[in-house]
Each structure stands twice: as structure tokens, then as C-alpha cells.
Chain A
Amino acid sequence: MTQETLKPQEKAALIELLYQMGDDDFILSFRGSEWLGLAPHIEEDVAFSSISQDMMGHANLYYHLLEDLGEGEADRLAHLRSPDQFRNAIILEEVNGPGTYLKEPEYDWAFAVVRNYFYAVHKQIRLDSLRHSSYGPLAEAARKIMTEQYYHLMHWEIWFKQLMTSTDEAIQRMNAAIEKVWKDFGGVLTLGPSYAEIVKANLIDDEAVMKKRWTNKMEAVLKEVGAGYPGEPRMERGNGRNGVHTDDLKQALSTLSEVYATNPATGW
């Protein structure tokens, strides 16, 4: 399908899906950028900031697809929507730890590794499926994104496996992070309330199929590093795909739009 051949119902479903994926990358990229200068070593600062930059680029691609569909300028979509208009999963908006990126950050590297790794695994599955999307421009975007995503997944997988098989303290911290992420990771794995229309339009695989791929992969990886499988990933704080969010998102968006919102009409 192209923009011209989309039926109204298909278009609505596509828009919903694009917001989910764009907002996921946008907000997690922001959380990643807060880590700059605070990573465990300088090599990681270089790698992580590169990943965050790539992810901001991916969000930008999705927002531009939305712009092409008449949703408004990509910059307005990124900077001027209210929190309840965001469709990202709740676990991706969560702060990196106590403090802020400018003052007294007590950031948790185990949480960063687990959240990014779990997300990268899902993102890979999602992109694999999108390559066959019925909407041509989306399939094309997915192919572009995959060339970078390959390295992101490899990066986080190395960190995950290494820390999960190291000192007792590392294992303990990593297990605590897994428990924390698991409580809300179900929010990443869902296609939200428009799920049926999204799948019907052949935009992406069925969420149950993709979820199964993710849980299979997780079961295998956790077994490999000698950890137990925590059961069904949950959505304890609600479904971000419905526009349900925490104060962490509100705070993030006010930082992200601080300058733009002073005058959206002018050039910056």
C-alpha cells in the first residue's frame, strides 16, 4: 500500500502504530542521552551516545512518516503533544534513577542494560516483521533502521550476558533490574487498543506471535546465563498505548520541549 491507496480505517491503524514506535524510540533515546558522561567507562559513553543518537534518528523517521500522512510537522509531534497523546510503553519513560541528568544523578547501570536489552530484542522482532509490512514506506524505513539496530542488539546482549555471569553483586543488581523491568514490559509487547485493525491491515505481525518470539528468546537467554524465567511480562502501571503515563513522562516532555515551546513558529 501507498499513502494514496490506504483506506481510512487502515490509515488510522497505521497512524496509531507509527506513534507507538516513534514514541518508544524517542523517549528511550532521551533516557539514553541523559546518561552521557555518566556511563561506566569512556568507551561506553561513546557507544551509548551513538546508540541514543541512532534511536533519535529512528524516531525522526517515524515522525516524518506521520507528517507525510497529514499528522502535522514532525517537530510539533515531538515537542508539542501532551503526555496523554504519547503512545510509548510506560517502562521506557521511567527515570534512570534518583536525581536528574544535571544534578546528583544516582543512575542504575543494571536497569539501563536490562531495559535497553529487552527493548532491543523486541525492536529487532518488530523490525523483522515490518520488512513485510503492507505499507511500503514503513517497510522501507524498517530496512534502514535494521542496519543500525543490528549493532544495538549486539551491544546490549554483550553487556547483559557479561554482567549476568560475573560477580555476585553484579548478578544481584541485574536480577533486581529484571524484576523491575518485567513488571511493566508487557506494555512494550502490546499493540494497544487498535491492535485488531493494525493486524487486519497487514501492517505488522499479530502481537501474540511477536510476543511469543520475544518470550522464547528471553527464556533461552535467561537459561543460558543461569537465571530463572519470571513468567508472563506484566503491565502493572497501565498501558502506555492507551495514553496512560506516569509523571516521569511529563517531566521528560517538558525538558525535551523547553526551548522549542518558547516559540514554535520561529526557526531555530
Chain B
Amino acid sequence: MTVGVSFNQLSEEEKMQHFLDRINAGEKIEPDDWMPDDYRLQLIRLISMHGISEIMGALPEKEWVPKAPSLHRKLAIMAKVQDEMGHGQLLLRVAEDLMAPLGKTRHDIMEDLFSGKLKFHNVFHMDAPTWGDAGIIAWLVDGAAIISQSMMLDSSYGPYARALKRICAEEVFHAQHGESIILAMAEGTPEQRQMLQDALNRWWESLIMFFGPKSAKETGNSNADKNIMYKIRTKTNEDLRQEFFTKYIPRIWSLGLTIPDDTIRFDEESKMWIYMDADWSKFKQIVSGNGPQSQNRLDLRRRSYKNNEWVREALAAKKAI
């Protein structure tokens, strides 16, 4: 910018160019900086969805908190779900700052969740009927989350990048906790191994879905492409999924487990994993609130929001002593 010309006097096009120059130079955008509305909206969409997914994601594991099969496992899973809730809180704070100029608050986020307008991650709509599922969630779902979140550690939006740095550090512990559960079961009785295999079978398609469709073709929107342009993210959904396969498929096989996909193989020529794609119409149904546990879990949050209305009123009425 030329000295003497105030930023506010620039045309919208010039502001946009200035903004793009900044992110292309690797600079971080901070909450009070000028940003195009579209960038703000993309961030709100992404970060509120991420934050609320962390919060909804605590619910399937919550089912296994009291049932965890030793004091050690109880302590570990309690620490994990607490971390997830903490990630949700951290991310919602980032989203709230972005929403403030639009006159929106956390209340709007919760209302959008309850009405189905704000979606949460496909994996957290699914059943987790056994302790094996708790292991697979911690090992592979958190493992997948590390891969997709690490890509955004260098996100152009400063507060998000900083929050992710903290989150990823904790997710590594979660994946180790998951791996430890998996190893104990894989080395255990035939019943434990079967429980583990059944859980993997249940979760495989959800894990494929975790990274989103290959291209806009499947879902009809192009948020991922836009986020790459804005340097909010750096890799495509398929890049991430391939990374996940490369990291985890050999580990799954080394435990003697079977991946429920006969076609899966690494193609030496293209250096890509060939696999059976997910049913993306099913994915759409799930994230629209029609997964097996979508409404039960939403009901838990709706109910508590309503039951605790008097507490929120009481807190608003008086400042802390």
C-alpha cells in the first residue's frame, strides 16, 4: 500500500487484491483485519462445523466412558472426551469472533445445530455398540482427523491455525490411546479379535466418507476448492484419503485384520490406492441428520439445552461472586 492512502479509501477490488497478496505471501489474517465476506463465511462454515463436530463427537465415546474395561482405560477415555470438548470450546470461540460482525452468537450456532442447518461430521452420526468401536474411533477416526487437521496447521486464518496446533498435539495422544486399545484386543482372546474386526467392518465406509467426496461432482458444491484458493486448506479430499490409506492400511493388515473391501490395493504405476468408493448419496443422508444415531444424539443436546435454560438465565441475571 502506498503511504498516505488509507486502506479504507481503496476500492473493493484493490482491497481484495491486497488481501490475496497477503495470503499468497504466507501472511496470517487476524480477526480485525479486512477480509472478503466470502472468506469470512467460508471460515464460519468450516470452523463452526468443526467445533460442533468435536462436541457431538464426544457423545459416541461418552457411551463408553463408564464402561471402559479397567481403571486405566476409564481414566484415559475420560481425558480424551474432555479434550474433545475442549477442542469444541476453543473452535467455537474462534467462530464466535468471526460471527460477531454479523450480529450472531453461540446461541445461533446451537439453534442451527438443533434445526439441522449446521451439520456435523458423518462419523458422529454412527452407532458405537461395542468397546471395539471405542477403540476404532480413537485409533482411526482420530487418526483421520490428525491427517485432515494437520493440513490446515498453516491455514491463512491465524486464530484457526493456532487453535489447530493445540488440537493436533492432543489428537496424537488420542490416536495412541486408540492404538493401545486395539493392540490389547488384537492380542487378546478370539472374542476380542472378533469384536475388533466387527467394529472395523462397521467403520470402514464411514472412514472413506470422512474426507469427503473426490470432487464437487458427488455433492454439488465446491467449498473444498474455494478453501484451497483462500489457503484455508492445502490439499484435496482425495489427497488426504490417500495419505490416510498409506499410513493406516499396512498397520491394519499387520494386526491380521481384514479390510472389508476386496478391491483395495496399492497401484505401483499411479502410486495410488485403488479402493471401493463410498455411497455418497448415503453420506448426504447421514450428514442431513438421517444417520442411525443422528437424532438420538441431537436429542441429548436439545434436551440438556432446554433443561438448563434456568441456569443460563440465572447466570445472565447476576455476575459471578
Known: A46-B85, A56-B74. 17 other contacts (CB 8 A): A33-B65, A39-B308, A45-B85, A46-B82, A46-B89, A49-B78, A79-B69, A79-B70, A162-B315, A162-B318, A162-B320, A167-B314, A169-B313, A170-B313, A259-B131, A267-B184, A268-B185
> How far apart are the CA atoms of A252 and B192 in the complex, in Å?
24
Given A102-B63, A267-B184, is A60 in contact with B81 using a C-beta cutoff of 8 Å?
Answer: no
The 8 A CB mask of A241-260 against B (1 = contact, 0 = none) is 00000000000100110111
Q: Which of A12-57 contact B (CB under 8 A)?
A: 30, 33-34, 36-43, 45-46, 49-50, 52-53, 56-57
Q: State which of B78, B88, B187, B304 has its C-beta within 8 Å of the C-beta of A53.
A: B78
CB of B5 within 8 Å of the partner chain? no
Give 7 pairs: A residue, B residue, CB < 8 Å, sorted on A. A38-B301, A39-B304, A45-B58, A50-B82, A109-B307, A252-B66, A260-B70
List chain A residues, Cβ under 8 A from B62.
33, 36-37, 101
Cβ distance B175 to chain A, nearest Cβ, rounded Å: 18
Cβ distance A170 to chain B, nearest Cβ, rounded Å: 4
List chain A residues, Cβ under 8 A from B75.
53, 56-57, 60
By secondary structure, the A interface counts as: helix
CB of B289 within 8 Å of the partner chain? no
- Cβ-defined contact, A40 with B311, below 8 A: yes
Name the residue among A158, A161, A256, A267 with the largest chain B CB count within 10 angstroms. Answer: A267
- Cβ-defined contact, A107 with B71, below 8 A: no
List chain B residues, Cβ under 8 A from A79.
69-70
CB of B300 within 8 Å of the partner chain? yes
Interface residues contributed by chain A, number (CB under 8 Å):
55
Q: Chain A: which residue is nearest B64 at the CB level?
A: A259
CB of B1 within 8 Å of the partner chain? no
The 8 A CB mask of B296-308 against A (1 = contact, 0 = none) is 1001110110011
Q: State which of B189, B310, B320 has its C-beta within 8 Å of the C-beta of A170.
A: B310
- Cβ-defined contact, A169 with B321, below 8 A: no
- Cβ-defined contact, A75 with B88, below 8 A: no
> How far apart are the CA atoms of A92 and B303 in the complex, in Å?
24
> How far apart are the CA atoms of A175 and B142 in the complex, in Å?
43
CB of A163 within 8 Å of the partner chain? yes
- Which residues of A come within 8 Å of B, CB atoms? 30, 33-34, 36-43, 45-46, 49-50, 52-53, 56-57, 59-60, 63, 74-75, 78-79, 101-107, 109, 158, 161-163, 165-167, 169-170, 173, 252, 255-256, 258-260, 262-263, 266-268
List chain A residues, Cβ under 8 A from B303.
38, 104-106
> How far apart are the CA atoms of A149 and B192 in the complex, in Å?
37
List chain A residues, Cβ under 8 A from B168.
none
CB of B55 within 8 Å of the partner chain? yes
Cβ distance B105 to chain A, nearest Cβ, rounded Å: 12
CB of B217 within 8 Å of the partner chain? no
Name the residue among B59, B62, B74 with the largest chain A CB count within 10 angstroms. Answer: B74
Given A42-B85, A166-B317, is A33 in contact with B71 using a C-beta cutoff of 8 Å?
Answer: no
> How far apart are the CA atoms of A268 and B5 in the complex, in Å?
67
- Cβ-defined contact, A42 with B92, below 8 A: yes
Cβ distance B207 to chain A, nearest Cβ, rounded Å: 23
> How far apart are the CA atoms of A50 and B85 in the complex, in Å?
10
List chain A residues, Cβ under 8 A from B307.
38, 106-107, 109
- Cβ-defined contact, A259 with B300, below 8 A: no
Q: Which of B67-110 contact A (CB under 8 A)?
A: 67-71, 73-75, 78-79, 81-82, 85-86, 88-89, 92
Cβ distance A259 to chain B, nearest Cβ, rounded Å: 4
- Cβ-defined contact, A37 with B71, below 8 A: no
List chain B residues, Cβ under 8 A from A30.
66
> How far apart are the CA atoms of A170 and B312 in the complex, in Å?
10
- Cβ-defined contact, B71 with A158, below 8 A: no
CB of B191 within 8 Å of the partner chain? yes
Cβ distance B74 to chain A, nearest Cβ, rounded Å: 6
List chain A residues, Cβ under 8 A from B320.
158, 162
List chain B residues, Cβ under 8 A from A74.
71
Q: State which of B188, B192, B296, B308 has its C-beta within 8 Å of the C-beta of A40.
A: B308
Given A106-B307, A161-B321, A165-B318, is A268 in contact with B70 using a C-beta cutoff of 8 Å?
Answer: yes
List chain A residues, Cβ under 8 A from B79.
53
- Cβ-defined contact, A166 with B315, below 8 A: yes
Given A37-B55, A49-B82, A268-B184, is A105 in contact with B300 using a C-beta cutoff of 8 Å?
Answer: yes
Q: Chain B: which residue is nearest A109 at the CB level?
A: B311
Q: Chain B: which residue is nearest A169 at the CB level?
A: B310
Cβ distance A152 to chain B, nearest Cβ, rounded Å: 14
- Cβ-defined contact, B304 with A256, below 8 A: no
